[in-house]
Amino acid sequence: LLALLWAFTALSSATITWRLQKASNPASDQADAYRRIELAMSQAAARYNRLAARAHKAVTVQYVPGVPTADASFNGNVRFGTNRAYMTERTALHEIAHTLGIGQTSAFNSRCAANNWPGATRLLRSWDGGSARINCGGGHIWPYGLNYEDEMSGTNADRHCRLIDAMLADGLAG
């Protein structure tokens, strides 16, 4: 019984936390960016925390005007550039996936090369049919990688989180 309680607790406690580094006296451009980024990150973290029990990361977020779109690294850094079209929940979900290992770990690369995502593939096929597979390229995945804004919907965002969770169970983080 104790083991079952521990397993339930472990599987029900995703923790994506984040903090936005801000200038102490922000210009109007910065203040607007901070507001948009905070909304996007709040929505994305809440969705991951609700749907991806294995997702654990403390994320540091920055507004960096020199970044063309947004980027992220496995060490937990996410940077948004000036283009407001990328200050969205979709982008935040996508970048958080990079902090969890998508395109960032040797395990990601080797599992992609071998198409070795047994649990994630089963989950994907439950949605998209028996021939569905996780595709990898350029440090990204599809379907449900949320690589472009036109891929965003409530269903796709939920599936993204669940797929990343299954990939973590399969060894994404190494």
Number of domains in the chain: 1
Q: Is the pLDDT of residue 149 over 60?
A: yes
pLDDT higher than 50, residue 8: no
Residue span of the structural domain in which 32 resides:
2-170
Average pLDDT, the chain: 94
Confidence tier at 13 by pLDDT (50, 70, 90) = low
DSSP of 10-62: HHT--EEEEEE---SS--HHHHHHHHHHHHHHHHHHHHHHHH-TT-EEEEEEE
pTM: 0.92
pLDDT in tens, 108-144: 999 999 999 999 999 999 999 999 999 999 999 999 9
